[in-house]
Amino acid sequence: MITAQSPGWFHYVRRVSREVMVGDVGIGGGNPIRVQSMLTSDTRDTAACVREALALADAGCELIRLTAQTRAYAANLENVARELRAAGCRVPLVADIHFKPDAAMEAAKWVEKIRINPGNFVDKKKFAERDYTDAEYEEELERLREEFSPLVRFCKEHGRAMRLGANHGSLSDRILNRYGDTPEGMVESALEFARVAHDLGYHQLVFSMKASNVKVMIAAYRLLAERLAAEGEGWNYPLHLGVTEAGEGEDGRIKSAMGIGSLLMDGLGDTLRVSLTEDAVCEVPVAYALAAPFQPGVKADEVPAVEPEPPLPFDPLHFHKRMAGLGMAYGVRYGWNEPVRVVLPDEAFAVLEPRRAALKDFAPELSLSRLEPVEVDPRSPESVAALDSLLEPTMVTVADGVDMDVPAAFRLLAAVVDGRHPILLKDTLKPDAPCDEDPALLASRHIGSLLCDGIGDAVLVRSERDPERAAKLAFNILQAAGVRISKAEYVSCPSCGRTLYNIQAATARIRAATDHLKGVKIAVMGCIVNGPGEMADADFGYVGGAPDKINLYVGHTPVEFNIPQEEAVDRLVALIKAHGRWIQREE
């Protein structure tokens, strides 16, 4: 269990990982945080893969992944690799494997790294419920060892790296029956395979714990880091960060910045991919922007802000909202069982005041002066004592100018002030300084990470200077963190060579038809690899079942099959109506 003595909660400390070489590119150790992306082209189409890979390389992508869903697809990696090297591209290639150990063995001949999904590499998912005895479970692990060992031996002999990439949406029946659909299950799924590799003396491993739910993803990586440390010396393998099915546009960037950025601030992460439902080259600059503040030479380990550091004010592995007292300002209630409120600076609030009706669910609720928060330096016992002397619950925030990272400062504030006081989160403690980051990424990383820790009763965005954009950004961060719903929500995968239809066009059509359905969650999935699992908490699913054919889901239950793509959006709307979730769009 992670304890308050673990590094990185109140000051930045980078996790020390061993170096893993992928071709000529080092991951972990003292290397930069590496940026990855994935081709959307059919792996059998050599020319298309080469074109797309060269564009990614020109954009700065440092590792390029391709899907290899069967041995035939994997065999063509020889041609793709040969043509890329002939074109002078030395970016390492990664083969993405699901279900097919024989495809992995073929792909390992031609690429520098193999990514396997522990949930489906050996196991065939049947969604079956079964109570395993310890002996039966050990039999399953022995079968895993027999089927996985040949790939490990081949990779060890030929100098190939491997990523053990657990996905929340595709855990095996064995794991689900024993551990449930949990971060614990994700971590154990990867460790089962890692122990086989470790026993065979193979250590070119990278781990990932991806989920579309940001809080689940954060908890899984934190638990993984703790479990790897507990395994002992030599288990400090690098971590690959990513929020799977993040979506598109600002929503996809917010969710990615929240999940990836939160872990980077914890000192975790050696390589990352931003999974957007857009062209692959669009992922690369976002990934570099997220990694930039934490690269070696930019961000150094810090000394504690206070010593001894206080007990941790939140559970890093399980989400619980901090139980603050209740307060009211100008008729707006805030605190423990109230929605997290959106606050703007006075000038921005005044600009939007005449347009409150038009902004509807995106109208800010309080100006800063109306809220009247007490500003505290959490490092100052005198400042904290003065606040705690107040009898009533009082909105509190970190004082501007405090020289600490924003999340660390607010964690420390939550740790030292009385729990009855609600907390106003800020995206920056230097509001007058120029913002050299994308405000959406900065605010999502700072405010979003704290919301995922259960800290925060109101939020203030100041890095975005446009009042309307600042208000919408605040509400979008609250929605991405799952703490307040203001609009329809979409879980959409980034597309790859397995995608069976034009997912970008379909996502745009679905949004155009349904974006007025507040509180409805729709999953748009290219194929069934992660679809049924990742959309388990979605209300409706739109999933590729065959080329240009769509299966529709209610929850994770398929209800309609092989719908022609040109009819599928209308059929999805009809399904939403049939389940009583449709409302007419206001003019």
Write out pLDDT tens, residues 297-323.
999 999 999 999 999 999 999 999 999
CA 272 centroid distance within chain: 10
Annotated binding residue 527: yes
Q: Residue 534 has what pLDDT?
A: 60
What is the CATH T-level fold of the domain 20-294, as seen in this structure? TIM Barrel (3.20.20)
Which amino acid does the sequence have at 2? I
Q: DSSP assignment of 142-156, as one string? A: HHHHHHHHHHHHHHH
Angle between helix axes 183-199 and 214-231 (nearest 10 degrees) is 40
Q: Residue 536: which of 523, 517, 548 has the closest Cα?
A: 523
Higher pLDDT among residues 125 and 241, named by residue: 241
Q: Residue 224: which of 200, 197, 192, 188 has the closest Cα?
A: 188
For the chain, the helix, strand and coil percentages under 3-state DSSP, each to the nearest 5 = 40, 15, 45
Q: Is the pLDDT of residue 527 over 90?
A: no
Higher pLDDT among residues 5 and 560, named by residue: 560
Residue ranges matching CATH 3.20.20.20 in the chain: 20-294
Q: Residue 531 has what pLDDT?
A: 53
Three-state DSSP class for 140? helix
For 389-410, the pLDDT digits (tens) are 998 999 999 999 999 999 999 9
Q: Which CATH superfamily is domain 489-578 in?
A: Sulfite Reductase Hemoprotein, domain 1 (3.30.413.10)
For 9-23, the pLDDT digits (tens) are 999 999 999 999 999
Q: Which residue has the tokens 């999935």?
A: 525
Helices marked H in 302-367: 346-352, 356-359
Alpha carbon distance 108, 118 (integer Å): 17
Q: Residue 214: which of 425, 478, 423, 4 has the closest Cα?
A: 478
Q: Quick one: average pLDDT of 372-387? A: 97
445, two tokens? 């990383």
For 21-39, the pLDDT digits (tens) are 999 999 999 999 999 999 9
Instruction: Check: CB of residue 313 under 8 Å from CB of residue 7.
Output: no
Q: Which long-range contacts (CB under 8 A, 24 or more apart) does 228-231 make?
A: 231/191
Three-state DSSP class for 237? coil
For 86-96, the pLDDT digits (tens) are 999 999 999 99
Annotated binding residue 534: yes
For 439-487, the pLDDT digits (tens) are 999 999 999 999 999 999 999 999 999 999 999 999 999 999 999 999 9
Instruction: Check: CB of residue 290 under 8 Å from CB of residue 265.
Output: no
Task: Determine phi and psi for 452, rounding to 5 degrees.
Answer: -70, -20
C-alpha dihedral over 462, 453, 165, 505, to 10 degrees? -40
C-alpha triplet 172, 278, 522: angle, nearest 5°: 55
Q: Residue 151: which of 81, 212, 202 has the closest Cα?
A: 202
Lowest mean pLDDT among 215-219, 426-430, 534-538: 534-538
**pTM score over 0.95:** no
Q: Residue 272: which of 240, 247, 246 has the closest Cα?
A: 240
Annotated binding residue 496: yes
Q: Is the pLDDT of residue 246 over 80?
A: no
Q: Residue 495 has what pLDDT?
A: 65
C-alpha triplet 166, 170, 175: angle, nearest 5°: 80
Alpha carbon distance 199, 48 (integer Å): 40
Q: Is the pLDDT of residue 4 over 50?
A: no
Residue ranges matching CATH 3.30.413.10 in the chain: 489-578
Instruction: Check: CB of residue 334 under 8 Å from CB of residue 457.
Output: yes
For 159-218, the pLDDT digits (tens) are 999 999 999 988 998 999 999 989 999 999 999 999 999 999 999 999 999 998 999 999
Q: Residue 1 has what pLDDT?
A: 40
223, two tokens? 């638990």
Task: Return mean pLDDT, the chain.
Answer: 93
480, two tokens? 């991405």
Q: Is the pLDDT of residue 5 over 50?
A: no
Q: Residue 161 has what pLDDT?
A: 98
Q: Quick one: average pLDDT of 123-135? A: 78
The pairing of strands 271-272 and 327-329 is unpaired
